[in-house]
Structure 1
Amino acid sequence: MPWLALRALTPLVLSTSVLAATPTYHDDIAPLLAKRCLICHSGANAPLGLRLDSLESLLRGSQRGPVVRAGDAAGSELLRRLTGSSQPRMPLTGPPFLDAVEIGMVERWIDAGLPAGSATASRPATPLPQPGEAVDYRHVEAILLRRCATCHSANGLMGAAPEGYLLSSYAATLASDERARVVPGNAAASELVRRIRGQARPRMPYDGPPYLTDAEIDLIVAWIEQGARDAEGRLAPKPVGAKVRLHGRLDAHGKLDGLPLLIDTHTRLDDAPRPGTYVQVRGRLDANGRVRVERLRLR
């Protein structure tokens, strides 16, 4: 964005340092990246190997090459992703995306030659639950954003999110208007878990293998079993009456991969499902998070 256009969008009350001082990596860019980008672009599993947790890593770029070119903001893939000139637009958690002032700061930093500055920046690793601590959204957010939201976001690699399911925020992950994919307190009845375990086909993430590690899956399962708490530790409400759609293997006891199902005379049975067959279950959740089956059919 041209500097004159940016000024037109910027409130006059902005501090002089934001508008006039040349941004540096340590003082200005690193804190911005830590806030909006490092949830995905850090660690060994950073998408395309692009780590943004140090200046050295940023300058190294991704498997596809450099993402910043000193003195050439317009030709830098980092800025193009932030503005949406290249898709998918970043960060994947947007909207909201970076605002005009933040984008302008990155643009000025690149055009100024990528000055490092003198301050030091640090960011703690993705938090892990301590012994006895409940698992909450903070502990699973990085996994979902790094491995799932690349497609399941408003501007993902496949365009619109598959089946409209977004995994780019807590509220979207728990949404149950169309159907519930996460059932707080019942991981086995959660479509999200059945997909990442491979009980339901196709297994997710769609770009696997590699799929999620056992430790990552166990963490997501623990989060759901403990009530799918938000980042402040509040329990998620139970989506009573919400629709569910599950796939898996039916066993001799009428369970779906060990998940008890509530089947009665009102349940519609199609195609003569038998023990050992791969089936689809459609139903609704009762007040205890159990699946009351409305239709059971071969898949």
Structure 2
Amino acid sequence: MGKRLTPVMLCSLLLPWLQALAQDVSFDEIQPILQARCVICHAGEAAPLGLRLTSLDELLKGSKSRPVVQRGEPSDSELIKRLKGLSQPRMPMTGPPFLSDAEIALFERWIAGGLKPGSRSSTATIPPTPLQHPSAGQPVTYAHVAPIFASRCVKCHSAYGLMGSAPEGLLLNAYVAILDRDERVRVVPGSSLASELVRRIRGQSQPRMPYDGPPYLSDEEIQLIVDWIDQGARDADGRPAPSPVGSRVRLQGVLGEGWTLDSLQLVVGPESRIDKSPGVGDYVEVRGRWSQDGRVLVERIRRR
């Protein structure tokens, strides 16, 4: 009978083959994946835990707490654990879809082969992805605003975000989640004025978002989100979302003449509860429901 191979003997036989295979991978092959799936969040001052993936040097530096790659040890590298979902939250946080098995295997081979730098400078920075605007005459769709949510919001507003579970249960990593109306509606298709999300990113409702600001969203980013909502909060294929008639809203802002909230018309009736005697110019919180005619039916309004 032939001699039975032990695990140690098997590893010794496979190691040269694995090393030879790994030597084929350099950062030149890793960088396009980072650019396509990772740097949308992991770039600039707002990068989660300070982990920037915009250059080889930044990747090797790791996060504020630890390195994310261990030379020659893919199974011990936090980057691989996150890509596979062995550590939470799984990356990228905009998934699913997550990276394919082939893409993850490429990272593993690169790490196993010693983090070969490739032809580019280790300090060469991946350029930021510019905002995508619709062509002339075309509406803004979710495809245009999704990168903004991914880069500035998803790090907290996801199932396993930096703050644990998503604050107030609000998920911003998918179109359906953003338009969820179970507890209350944050995006009112056709009315950015009545959309809590817009009021948060403008600072009309507190706390202003993103929570890690400043810097907050740029005027250009805010305007793109406003246009998306006012044009019907269309999905990536251009289909407008239905109006959330009857859904609860919770808004903050400055009370104006004729029961308006920053020019948004309110409907205050006999059943509306009015607390702390709010007057024109006061900062107030409004709770109510969205009506068929595009106004807020006030259930409660109070001075804050």
TM-score by length of 1: 0.79
Whole-Å separation in 2 of the counterparts to 1:292 and 1:30: 51
- 1:183 matches 2:188: yes
Measure how far apart 1:94 and its partner are. Answer: 3.6
1:224-254, Cα deviation, whole Å (9 max, x unpaired): 1111111111111111111111111112321
| Aligned equivalent of 1:224, options 202, 207, 229 | 229
What letter is aligned with 1:51?
A: L
Measure how far apart 1:90 and its partner are. Answer: 1.8
1:25-55, Cα deviation, whole Å (9 max, x unpaired): 5786445445532432357865536134x65
The match for 1:297 is 302
1:190-230, Cα deviation, whole Å (9 max, x unpaired): 00000111111111111111111111111111111111111
Whole-Å separation in 2 of the counterparts to 1:124 and 1:212: 15
Compute the RMSD of aligned alpha carbons: 3.2
> Cα gap change, 1:106/1:289 in structure 2, threshold over 3 Å: closer, same or farther?
farther
| Aligned equivalent of 2:252, options 233, 247, 251 | 247
Whether the aligned pair in 1 keeps the contact of 2:25 and 2:113 (CA below 8 Å) is: no
The match for 1:211 is 216
- 1:263 matches 2:265: no
| Aligned equivalent of 2:157, options 136, 152, 157 | 152
Measure how far apart 1:116 and its partner are. Answer: 6.3
The match for 1:90 is 91
> Cα gap change, 1:60/1:163 in structure 2, threshold over 3 Å: closer, same or farther?
same
Specify every segment of 5 or more residues in structure 1 that has no aligned partner in the other structure, as ranges: 5-19
1:81-109, Cα deviation, whole Å (9 max, x unpaired): 32455554321124554465543442232
> Cα gap change, 1:80/1:127 in structure 2, threshold over 3 Å: closer, same or farther?
same
Q: Secondary structure at 1:106's aligned position in 2?
A: helix
Whole-Å separation in 1 of the counterparts to 2:199 and 2:38: 28
Measure how far apart 1:156 and its partner are. Answer: 0.6
> Cα gap change, 1:159/1:45 in structure 2, threshold over 3 Å: closer, same or farther?
closer
Specify every segment of 5 or more residues in structure 2 that has no aligned partner in the other structure, as ranges: 1-6, 8-19, 120-125
The match for 1:12 is none
What letter is aligned with 2:255?
A: L
Q: Secondary structure at 2:245's aligned position in 1?
A: coil
Whole-Å separation in 2 of the counterparts to 1:204 and 1:244: 18
Q: Secondary structure at 1:244's aligned position in 2?
A: strand
The match for 1:16 is none
> Cα gap change, 1:151/1:103 in structure 2, threshold over 3 Å: closer, same or farther?
same
> Cα gap change, 1:201/1:254 in structure 2, threshold over 3 Å: closer, same or farther?
same
Q: Percent identity?
A: 56
> Cα gap change, 1:231/1:34 in structure 2, threshold over 3 Å: closer, same or farther?
farther
Whether the aligned pair in 2 keeps the contact of 1:25 and 1:55 (CA below 8 Å) is: no
> Cα gap change, 1:249/1:125 in structure 2, threshold over 3 Å: closer, same or farther?
closer
Whether the aligned pair in 2 keeps the contact of 1:82 and 1:97 (CA below 8 Å) is: yes
> Cα gap change, 1:286/1:83 in structure 2, threshold over 3 Å: closer, same or farther?
same
1:113-145, Cα deviation, whole Å (9 max, x unpaired): 234679xx9997552223333111121111111
TM-score by length of 2: 0.78
1:280-295 residue pairs with structure 2 within 5 A?
280-295=285-300
1:161-215, Cα deviation, whole Å (9 max, x unpaired): 0000001111111111111000011001000000111111111111111111111
